[in-house]
Amino acid sequence: MELIDGKKVSDTVKQEITQKVTEIINNGGKRPHLAAILVGNDGGSITYVNHKVKACEQIGFTSTLQKYEDTVSEEELLAKIAEFNANNDIDGFIVQLPLPKHINEQKIIEAIDPTKDVDGFHPVNVGKMVIGLPCFKSATPAGIIKLLSFYNIETSGKKCVVIGRSNIVGKPMSVLLSQKGYPGDCTVTVCHSRTQNLAEECAQADIVIAALGSPEFVTKDMVKNGAVVIDVGTTRVPSDKTKSGWKLKGDVKFDEVSPKCSYITPVPGGVGPMTIVSLLQNTLDAAANK
Ligand code: GUN
């Protein structure tokens, strides 16, 4: 079993991006600029956005963080999005999800200029991704693709089961793995809450992508010997061993599943760090596309 070290891969990619930023600046160019909109006080969202801002600082991007109380109106958010769309210094921006119930998330996503939609959530980018055109790809699936290629993991003709059908991870992941070329050319099955015999489907897979958000859902009887297991889960569970009082739990029961795997991602330190570098890469591309 080989552990897929997302931290190591993300550090390598960050160094490459840092180098490119230095070249841009040395050639008299503008520093890439990522902006983020954060609404409310969800602990997970605050942590993720802070990590994104910190990563920008590390690699030499400019960053802007716009925070709102969870009482903010949809109109106010739409006005800020219009402002960011029009701001020539901002190359790309994200609205951290989920948003409070009174805000129409889809309306917010569709208000973002697709050329600045570095999350790849706008229907224009999703549509382009589906038909294989250049576009911003959703950061978590793009990060997983990068991990598979970094470790030269064979994907052609492999049976892949994606558990979860979210717009952010499951759906785009299934598209990217089934597209022509490497990494891709997989035969993909998408499993979800209505799937019958999910454990049996999963047990036939060469590659399992667990992205349902249910801690330790994938157990050893669901994974065949030699499988590649990618764990996207990041649920916060109470812990008396950490200062914060919680720790992250993946969707895979790591201790019992890992001995059966050829490759597996840990939580934390697997997919998580890759999501951030994909976002940075998209922002660098957005700046270059101008
Ligand atoms: N919420 C969970 N993952 C993401 C992400 O990749 N981007 C945004 N904007 N919100 C998220």
- Atom 1 of ligand 1 has which residue's CA nearest to it? 97
CATH 3.40.50.10860 residue ranges for the chain: 28-113
Q: Does domain 28-113 have CATH number 3.40.50.10860?
A: yes
Query: What pLDDT, on the 0 to 100 scale, is given for residue 197?
Result: 97
pLDDT in tens, 74-131: 999 999 999 999 999 999 999 999 999 999 999 999 999 999 999 999 999 999 999 9
CATH 3.40.50.720 residue ranges for the chain: 139-271
The CATH H-level (homologous superfamily) assignment of domain 139-271 is NAD(P)-binding Rossmann-like Domain (3.40.50.720)
Dihedral angle sign, alpha carbons of residues 17, 22, 28, 32 = positive
Query: What pLDDT, on the 0 to 100 scale, is given for residue 290?
Result: 85
**CA–centroid distance, residue 168 to ligand 1 (Å):** 7
**CA–centroid distance, residue 96 to ligand 1 (Å):** 5
Q: Which residue has the tokens 């605050």?
A: 46
Nearest atom, ligand 1, residue 45 CA: 1
Active site residues: 52, 96, 119
Nearest atom, ligand 1, residue 275 CA: 6
**Contact 168 CB / ligand 1 (< 6 Å):** yes
Cβ atoms of residues 179 and 145 within 8 Å: no
- Atom 11 of ligand 1 has which residue's CA nearest to it? 97
Q: Which residues in the chain land under pLDDT 50?
A: none
**Contact 109 CB / ligand 1 (< 6 Å):** no
Nearest atom, ligand 1, residue 279 CA: 6
**Contact 139 CB / ligand 1 (< 6 Å):** yes
